């Protein structure tokens, strides 16, 4: 079975905003299976404005939806405290026999914190508020870090960095989904 590729997720926290942006390409081998997948979502919409979380995934789609559902349940259980919910999800992800087999990574952000979550139990807070995952993640990360001292608008910075990533990574396209929250930092 061919390996599925095709995700670039980038998050930037700058100028009073936090942005999570994802490309739309899903590839299998050398074939683009879908050009407009929606890999970035808003979670915690049942909570207050302060409880909203934006999340983007890289990896198998079904696995990502499972993780979105689990994270949303953890958010509700822990009063929309993202750090606590993320740590609890990471513990489950690493130790649960079913979850341990999920192949995905996530970037999650609320108004206070941005985190990268992995199946190894990692809950990582990126340096300088810039994080990226996926097959084009390193391209987007490098572009965003290069642009950060020249562009104060998080959304503009994300769009420029994703454009650069799409130009150099064959598994990334320019059909993006973007979610934005006001930030305290």
Catalytic residues: 7
Phi-psi region of 11 (alpha: psi -120 to 50; beta: other; left: phi over 0): beta
* Binding residue numbers: 166, 169, 172
Q: Which residues lie closer than 8 Å to 177 by C-beta, 6 or more apart?
A: 21, 22, 24, 38, 39, 40
How far is 129 from 11, CA to CA, in rounded Å?
Answer: 8
* Binding residue numbers for Na(+): 166, 169, 172
Burial class of residue 48 (count of CB atoms within 10 Å of its CB; 0-12, 13-18, 19+): exposed
């Amino acid at each position: 079975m061919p390996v599925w590729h095709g995700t670039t997720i980038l998050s930037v926290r700058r100028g009073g905003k936090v942005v999570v942006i994802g490309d739309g390409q899903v590839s299998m081998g050398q074939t683009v299976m879908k050009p407009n997948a929606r890999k970035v979502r808003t979670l915690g919409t049942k909570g207050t404005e302060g409880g909203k979380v934006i999340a983007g995934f890289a990896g198998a789609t079904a696995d990502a939806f499972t993780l979105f559902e689990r994270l949303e349940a953890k958010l509700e259980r822990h009063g929309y405290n993202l750090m606590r919910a993320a740590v609890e999800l990471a513990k489950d992800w690493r130790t649960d026999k079913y979850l341990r087999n999920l192949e995905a990574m996530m970037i999650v952000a609320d108004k206070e914190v941005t985190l990268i979550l992995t199946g190894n139990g990692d809950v990582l807070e990126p340096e300088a508020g810039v994080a990226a995952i996926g097959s084009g993640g390193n391209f987007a990360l490098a572009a965003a870090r290069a642009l950060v001292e020249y562009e104060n608008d998080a959304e503009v910075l994300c769009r420029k960095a994703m454009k650069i990533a799409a130009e150099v990574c064959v598994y990334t396209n320019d059909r993006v989904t973007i979610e934005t929250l006001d930030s305290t930092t």
